[in-house]
Amino acid sequence: MRVGGPADYFVEVEDETELGAWVAWAREQATAVFLLGGGTNLVVADAGIRGLTIKLGRNFAGSRWAIAEDGARVRVGAATNFKKFVGETLDRGFTGLEFAEGIPGTIGGGVIMNAGAFGGEIGEVVEALHGVDRAGRVSRLSRDALRFSYRHLDLPRGFVVTALDIRLQRGDPDTMAERAAEARRKRGKRQPLGHPNAGSVWKNPPGDFAGRLIDRVGLRGERVGQAQISPQHGNFIVNLGGARARDVRELMWRTRDRIWAARGVWLQPEVKLVGEWGAL
């Protein structure tokens, strides 16, 4: 979104030992920890983020493949670029992530929000997660300990994901290419280009689409300051240049209140509002 203020403390870590030490330090100091991925679905408050913000460095990016006749198991670092990894799976001929063609950010951020589109979700292919718990210890969460839901993963408090174990099946190259191209075409047609944004603002309510509800109450194009509901798609808020985080949040709450009053539907944010907001 290109909005928001500074972090009190910011560190970029390159291995699990360093990560664990910082997490343990923060716990000893009673300091909050915020893990920053690619930042693609965040709205950071104008006052910034209190406590310690941690970003995983380059050593947490990349993938290791174990390929068999029927499929592959892949260990993927949480800092790996999501779009690049999807391209890698297609190049190698393994299916399961075509829906994610074009999703920005890191794969770690993708799993935290159970990223999905066009009928697919990353949670469907995850076998285990590796990371550091709130005491700073290296830990592993098996599939049966992972509770995925729509655009959400319920993790133990303070757990920092450092890598994913993913299971993929071999696929037909033509079919996979067609699915990826269709996802890319739909995104190019529906999503706004040229202005900073954080992707879909609202989760789709059961049986409907947030963008369609916003259109029905006439809010497409609505503005607060330099924040605008995209004229191209009602479920996107764009920064026209110089928007403040408070403008984005005010526009979000105005949208939610209008839809509640007109349609009786209470929208849930898909973007994450983080930092010190205070009262609106």
List, as one string, the DSSP characters of 69-101: SSEEEEEEETTSBHHHHHHHHHHHTEES-GGGT
**Is 279 part of a structural domain of the chain?**
no
The predicted structure's pLDDT at residue 118: 78
User: Quick one: 54 and 65 in the same domain?
Assistant: no
User: Quick one: 177 and 78 in the same domain?
Assistant: yes
* Contact predicate 54/16, CB 8 Å: no
- pTM for the structure as a whole: 0.87
The predicted structure's pLDDT at residue 279: 60
The predicted structure's pLDDT at residue 158: 87
CATH number at residue 181: 3.30.465.10
The predicted structure's pLDDT at residue 212: 96
The predicted structure's pLDDT at residue 165: 98
Cite the active site residues.
151, 200, 270
Rounded average pLDDT per 10-residue block, the chain, 280 residues: 96 96 93 93 96 97 93 97 93 90 90 86 96 93 94 92 96 88 77 88 96 97 98 96 97 98 97 87
**Is 195 part of a structural domain of the chain?**
no
**Is 33 part of a structural domain of the chain?**
yes
User: Quick one: 20 and 41 in the same domain?
Assistant: yes
The predicted structure's pLDDT at residue 231: 94
Phi, psi of 94 (to 5 degrees): -115, 135
User: Quick one: 258 and 182 in the same domain?
Assistant: no
Count of domains observed in the chain = 3
Q: Which domain holds residue 82?
A: 61-189
Whole-angstrom Cα distance, residue 237 to residue 191? 11
Q: What one-character-per-residue DSSP string does the chain give?
A: ------EEEEEEE-SHHHHHHHHHHHHHTT--EEEESS-TTEEE-TT-EEEEEEEE-GGG--EEEEE-SSEEEEEEETTSBHHHHHHHHHHHTEES-GGGTT--SBHHHHHHTT-EETTEEGGGTEEEEEEE-TTS-EEEEEGGG-EEETTEEEPPTT-EEEEEEEEEEE--HHHHHHHHHHHHHHHHHHS--SS-B-S--BPPPTTS-HHHHHHHTT-TT-EETTEEE-SS-TT-EEE-SS--HHHHHHHHHHHHHHHHHHH-----BSSEEES-----
CATH number at residue 52: 3.30.43.10
User: Quick one: 181 and 126 in the same domain?
Assistant: yes
The predicted structure's pLDDT at residue 181: 84
* Contact predicate 125/97, CB 8 Å: yes
User: Quick one: 65 and 48 in the same domain?
Assistant: no
CATH number at residue 222: 3.90.78.10
User: Quick one: 84 and 12 in the same domain?
Assistant: no
**Is 117 part of a structural domain of the chain?**
yes
User: Quick one: 65 and 179 in the same domain?
Assistant: yes
